[in-house]
Amino acid sequence: MLPNHVNQERQFFFKMMPRVYDFIYFYTQFWFGGTGGFLHIVLDDGNVDDESVWYCQEQASLQNDTFGYFLATLLRFFTEDEREVMYADGWGDYHYTGKERSVHHD
């Protein structure tokens, strides 16, 4: 069993998921016109492993993309399994298909 502070931290990040989706939507729609920009390896291709997120964060830094760097930092707080769930839940296709996002605010 995980210590209580770890469980509380995980709960916090689960509550943050809809906000992270909003940041992803903003980044892809308004920064890069529907693509994942410097985070495309993660956001478009679904490579949600730690190394890919770190690589994208470095690319954003090298290109002075502060919002992309911020977004990658947020994504690094989630586990790989959690990022897989987030990818499957809607950051991958909605900006291409025009479908309404699957984000639900509490």
For the whole prediction, is pTM greater than 0.85?
no
Residue-wise pLDDT tens digits, 32-42: 777 888 999 99
Closest CA to 17 of 96, 81, 65: 81
Length of the chain: 106
Give whole-number Cα distances, 73 to 44, 57, 62, 88, 94, in Å.
17, 7, 15, 20, 22
Average predicted confidence (pLDDT) for the chain: 80
Mean pLDDT of 42-50: 93
Checking if the pLDDT of 64 tops 90, the result is: yes
Burial of 95 (0-12, 13-18, 19+ CB in 10 A): buried
**pLDDT > 70 in the chain, percent:** 80
In 46-97, where do the E strands start and end?
Answer: none
Q: Which residue has the higher pLDDT, 31 or 28?
A: 28
